[in-house]
A and B are shown apart, each in its own frame.
Chain A
Amino acid sequence: MDRIPILKLKSCLLISIQTDLHDLIITALQEDILTEISRTGARGVLIDISALDIVDSFMARTLRDCSVMATLLGAKVVITGIRPAVAITLVDLGLDLSGIITACDIDSGFDLLESTPGVFNSGRILKRY
């Protein structure tokens, strides 16, 4: 099965979803992100979905759940690049997306993570691997 690469940048994880994903890959990605947070001690996670022209309720729910789960592990998740048509559709769908932190692009997403104490220059020693 294909897997979405998770890159580590300083104390953050960076995930860019470039293709339409089916449910199994989305579920695997959620697990992978949580495993990586725990393995690397990452404090921030940035998930860029600017390439996605559809976010259905399953995808949105997984992103929301992933944000909440990451919070439990001590990491902050920022979703970036939601397209306008996707935003309109998500609201029409009636999804409760409270708990999701977003930014319009990767740049502002990183700004947001940077402004969070401890995400970039935490002084916390990351586990080496």
Chain B
Amino acid sequence: MLAQSVKIQDESDILTSRRLVREIATKIGFGIVDQTKLATATSELSRNIYRYADNGIVYIEQITQPPGIKVLFEDNGPGIADPEEAMKEGFSTTPGSLGLGLSGAKRLVDDMTIESEVGKGTKIEIFKYLP
């Protein structure tokens, strides 16, 4: 089983995490469009960690039931008060942002879950399954 993790501490780690996700997705057998969607979703969520939580970890893992990939984004940042609201399009706490971070990432993958507690941190999992 393929598995990797990346610490998100500075901007270049956003690049590392999305590159690694693409690498693993390619090895698992995802096509170019799914690789690109996964890498882009990873970029959005890694950037969220960097912007709002300062640092965190991204775990990338091959899954078998059903076959695909899971990427977990974990941080000890400020947390999201209302995850459901935050998943809606246009939601943003950053002026000038398009508010596409979470809702956009969600649209690029097959499944997405958010666990978050204000003041404690956020755990987001995204899943994409092999066609």
- Show the binding face of A for B, using Cβ within 8 Å: 20, 22-24, 53-58, 61, 83-86, 88-89, 92-96
- CB contact list, B17-64 vs A, under 8 A: 18-19, 22, 32-33, 35-37, 39-40, 43-44, 47
In contact, A54 and B36 (Cβ under 8 angstroms): yes
Contact B98 A23 (CB under 8 A): no
- B104 near A: Cβ within 8 Å? yes
Q: Per-position contact with A for B99-114: 1 when CB-CB < 8 Å, else 0? A: 0110110011000000
Given A53-B22, A56-B47, A88-B36, the answer on whether A93 and B12 have CB atoms closer than 8 Å is no
Q: Are A93 and B100 in contact (CB under 8 A)?
A: yes
Q: Which residues of B contact A (CB under 8 A)?
A: 11-12, 14-15, 18-19, 22, 32-33, 35-37, 39-40, 43-44, 47, 89, 97-98, 100-101, 103-104, 107-108
Contacts of B37 in A (CB 8 A): 88-89, 92
A23:B36 contact, CB within 8 angstroms? no
- Partner pick for A54 among B40, B89, B98, B107, CB 8 A cutoff: B40
B32 touches A58 (CB 8 A): no
The one of B11, B22, B33, B43 in contact with A88, judged by C-beta atoms closer than 8 angstroms, is B33
Tell me whether B33 and A20 are in contact (CB under 8 A). Answer: no
Please report the C-alpha to C-alpha distance between residue A112 and residue B129 in the assembled complex, in whole angstroms: 41
Given A57-B104, A93-B107, 11 more pairs with CB closer than 8 A: A53-B39, A54-B36, A56-B18, A85-B32, A85-B35, A86-B36, A89-B33, A92-B108, A93-B108, A94-B100, A95-B104
With a cutoff of 8 Å between Cβ atoms, the chain B residues found around residue A22 in the complex are: 11-12, 14-15
User: Do B100 and A95 touch across chains, with their CB atoms under 8 A apart?
Assistant: yes
Q: How far is the CA of A95 from the CA of B97 in the complex (A)?
A: 11
Chain A minimum-CB-distance residue to B18:
A54
A54 near B103 with CB under 8 A, answer no
The 8 listed contacts between A and B (C-beta, < 8 Å) are A20-B19, A54-B39, A55-B40, A57-B98, A57-B101, A88-B37, A92-B107, A94-B104
Contact, CB under 8 Å: A24 / B11:
yes
Question: Which residues of chain A have C-beta atoms less than 8 A from B39's C-beta?
Answer: 53-54
* Docked complex Cα distance between A58 and B101 (Å): 9
Q: Considering the chains assembled together, what is the distance between the CA atoms of A23 and B47 in angstroms?
A: 9
Contacting residues, chain A, for B14 (C-beta < 8 A): 22-23
Please judge, given known A-B contacts A22-B11, A23-B47, A24-B11, whether A85 and B107 are in contact too, CB under 8 Å: no
